[in-house]
Amino acid sequence: MTDIATYNFAYLDEQTKRMIRRAILKGIAIPGYQVPFASREMPMPYGWGTGGVQVTASIIGPDDVLKVIDQGADDTTNAVSIRAFFKKVANVAVTTETATATIIQTRHRIPEHPLNAGQVLVFQVPIPEPLRFLEPRETETRKMHALEEYGLMHVKLYEDIARHGRIATTYAYPVKVEGRYVMDPSPTPKFDNPKMHRSPALQLFGAGREKRIYAVPPLTDVVSLDFEDHPFEVQTFDQPCALCGAENVYLDEVILDDHGGHMFVCSDTDHCEKRREDGHHGHLAAETNLASGKTEPAE
């Protein structure tokens, strides 16, 4: 580090980190409650994960190994740029392997590989308030949380059933945390909701523009809202991943040509690469040698 103008470790100044750290501790102590915090401007636009980046910057240390995913993928713009950001400002080791990472910052997916007890999952959240589209006034939603008045959310799910014959919400599917707070799991597909329930990893949520931090401690009940006669269910896919043949994973549709050709592939790229390395093949997989699971040490 010979640059004259150098940043503090992990970009944020220490007072900001302390403020965010205090908010994280309150969030852990009150699972699902949205703690207001003095979100800073970050060197990226709102919507690119400024909340998640601030949370990661406040918890990360020189020994951490960071993985960043964007819709499950390690190699899309948002993931690549945030990973590069932390490599630059914190000089930490980065990886694409779920099992190697100590901190995983994610935009809208939970990895397929089961998480373990030491890991922290940091979510980037656009709209933290699950009731916001039902009630635009912050004063009112705050009162609804205070009084545990969540009838409106059930009405919304009921209207889904009345209109579509089923609960049509497929992402940002509301959950109840530890029997108290209704929480937005961030726009993850509802496929990932069951993974939040009693997860061994700590889950932190940062919303930069909306200035809220919330958390789900490990081994905490996270229950998706539903009705007795319309129980919560996750998406299913009729075909396995076209590249690795995985079933019971979340798939993305990829358009192949302009004649309607398409294929379904794993949204979790690390999971898909690992499976192909282990010799699994989908019906469209090419015979190539993959160099996957890269871990780059700190310099």
Does 61 bind other proteins (CB under 8 A)? Our answer is yes
* Binding segment toward other proteins, per CB under 8 A, in 40-48, 174-182, 244-252, 284-292: 174-182
Marked catalytic residue, from 27, 51, 206, 241? 241
By the 8 A CB rule, do 78 and 49 touch?
Answer: yes
List the one residue from 21, 87, 156, 280 that touches other proteins (CB under 8 A).
21
Residue 272 designated active-site: yes
CA distance 269 to 250: 11
Marked catalytic residue, from 52, 72, 206, 272? 272
Tokens 């960043």: give the residue. Answer: 68
CA distance 91 to 85: 9
26: left (phi over 0), alpha (psi -120 to 50) or beta: alpha
Does 298 bind other proteins (CB under 8 A)? Our answer is no
Q: How far is the CB of 182 from other proteins (least distance, A)?
A: 13
Does 8 bind other proteins (CB under 8 A)? Our answer is yes
Tokens describing residue 159:
């209207």
Instruction: For residue 156, give the amino acid letter.
Output: K
CB closer to other proteins out of 211 and 280: 211
Q: For residue 296, give Cα distances in angstroms to 4, 80, 93.
A: 26, 13, 6
Residue 241 designated active-site: yes
Instruction: For residue 182, give the amino acid letter.
Output: V
Interaction residues for other proteins, span 254-293 (CB under 8 A): none
Residue 52 designated active-site: no
Q: How far is the CB of 218 from other proteins (least distance, A)?
A: 5
Question: How many CB atoms sit inside 10 A of residue 194's CB?
Answer: 17
Give the binding site for other proteins (CB under 8 A).
Answer: 8-9, 14-15, 17-19, 21-31, 33, 35-36, 58-62, 142-143, 145-147, 178, 180-181, 202, 217-221
